[in-house]
Amino acid sequence: MSEHCPVIVLGGTGYVAGEFLRLIAAHPHLELAAVVSDSQAGHPVSHAFAHLAPAYPEQRFTSLSDVDGLLQVLPRAAVFAAAPHGVSAKLLDDFLTRAETAGTEVHLVDASADYRFADADAYLAAYGHAHGAPSRLADFASGLPEHVRGTPARHIGHPGCFATSMLLAIVPLLELGLAQPEFYASGVTGSTGAGRQPTDTTHHPQRHSNLFAYKALAHRHSPEVCVLAAAAAGVAPKLHFVPHSGPFARGIEMTVMAQLKEPANADTLTERLRAYYAGAPFVHVVADGMPRLKDVAGSNHARLGVACDDDTVVVSCVIDNLLKGAAGGSVQWMNRLLGWPETTGLDAPAPGWI
């Protein structure tokens, strides 16, 4: 690939799309070519994302049909998709067909759930509706960059934010043979994980100073975690997951518990996980207690902490749901697909007090 690559963002008005735009503005090799939103076509990007006005003072949203002309003049493009689950599959299929017709070489990373499963039946079982473009599934691979070597496909379906935090904890325990393949997970997520449109459970008066579980043992990320963990570690786990809504905007704190196969101490397990992630620049295994959300919020970094007694291990993982769990992890994948270091444009530390 050349030193610079034009970027198209699809589904451009949500929180994840805003993070894509912010990361692209600071990336040394990516140049924004278009932000697609049929509902906001013609409107300034700064109207949807006022904080991005300094980066995009003149940029306007465009319609999908207007992208055809752009594809005719672009020999290659990086594409990030942030459309809603259930909408993304057909949208991306249509877009990729347009790119193929125009002869544009495309690498695409989808932040929705629509290309995380290799099998249309598995997608149907998890989401309760048929996949919108099952013939496209073979063009995509899914998994975390830390757990998948090389470039397994031209396009990537990035794992979900809850799934990212669980996979970072579960996969090394499985692959290293440290724990029995049955896990209990409890995670708390910020309100941005619910998207831009408020609902009864995400509206600020309901969420402020509040904490509650939802979809206990029935969250849609559970089968995704099991599939991706089995692919990465070669062992199929059983998962019991209870998600919670937290009274903060961004971030996830995930606590994973399992039975150890053999007695161990926290220091030994910490060193085993630290060695496992030695080549992962965004994953840090701490030895001084459990990590805190503000250690990572606003960054693409993840922090893990370990505790154990004679037969039980606890791994706590904190990530930013919009970054490591969505836009940041997707840019990490795109860097690899385009042949750049994975840290390119992503190595800023967490702000610390957001």
The set of catalytic residues is: 161
CA–CA dist 139, 97 (Å, integer): 12
Q: How far apart are the first and last CA of the chain?
A: 36
DSSP class of residue 23 equals: H
As to burial, measured by CB atoms within 10 angstroms (0-12 exposed, 13-18 middle, 19+ buried), residue 129 is exposed
> Which one, of 122, 175, 119, lies nearest residue 144 by Cα?
175
Q: 205-231 burial by CB neighbour count: b if 16+ within 10 A, else e? A: eebeeeeeeeeeeebbbbbbbbbbbeb
Residue 325 CB: number of other CB atoms within 10 A? Answer: 29
Does residue 196 contact residue 15 with C-beta atoms inside 8 Å?
yes
CA–CA dist 81, 79 (Å, integer): 7
Whole-number Cα distances in Å, 212 to 181, 188, 312, 315: 27, 9, 26, 21
Question: CA torsion angle for 285, 288, 293, 298 (degrees, to 10)?
Answer: -60
Does residue 9 contact residue 21 with C-beta atoms inside 8 Å?
yes
Amino acid at 27: H
Question: CA torsion angle for 273, 345, 49, 31 (degrees, to 10)?
Answer: -140
Helix or strand holding residue 151 (H, E): none
CA 40: distance to chain centroid? 25
